[in-house]
Amino acid sequence: MLLEFQPQVATDISRIMDYYEGVAGPKLANEFYSELRSSFQKAADSPETYDIREHDLRRVNLERFPYHFLFRIVRDRVRILVVRHHRRRPSLGLHRR
């Protein structure tokens, strides 16, 4: 399936990368981004393998970092809605379409 991103996802990713770059430098920020991109591709390759959490939203947890993203399947696309921390602001992104 094709990947599609809700426009605010770029801001989500930028904030997280800025944080990691600030606390540990660009290497860790790049490692986060690499894992995130790999997880996006896994979701696109087999979206039905991820359980529905709320409404029609599915969740993908990153392995190394305490972040996940929510997506929904819209026709032939995987639409990424939000990238967020496991324990901060649990309602972040739920209103995004």
In the chain, domain spans: 2-85
Return the bridge partners of 73, or none: 78
Cβ(78)–Cβ(1) below 8 Å: yes
**Choice between 94 and 13, residue whose per-residue pLDDT is larger:** 13
Structure tokens at 76: 């032939």
pLDDT digits (tens, 9 = 90+) for 28-83: 999 999 999 999 999 999 999 999 988 899 999 999 999 999 999 999 999 999 99
Q: Is the pLDDT of residue 90 over 80?
A: no
Among 51, 55, 49, 56, smallest CA distance to 79 is for 56
Show the tokens assigned to 94.
């739920």
Pick the CATH number of 2-85 from 3.10.450.50, 3.20.20.80, 3.30.70.100, 3.30.2310.20: 3.30.2310.20
Q: What is the pTM of this model?
A: 0.89
Give the 3-state secondary structure of residue 14: helix
Pairwise CA distance, residues 57 & 80, whole Å = 10
Q: Which residues contact 60 (CB under 8 A, 6 or more apart)?
A: 39, 42, 43, 50, 68, 69, 71
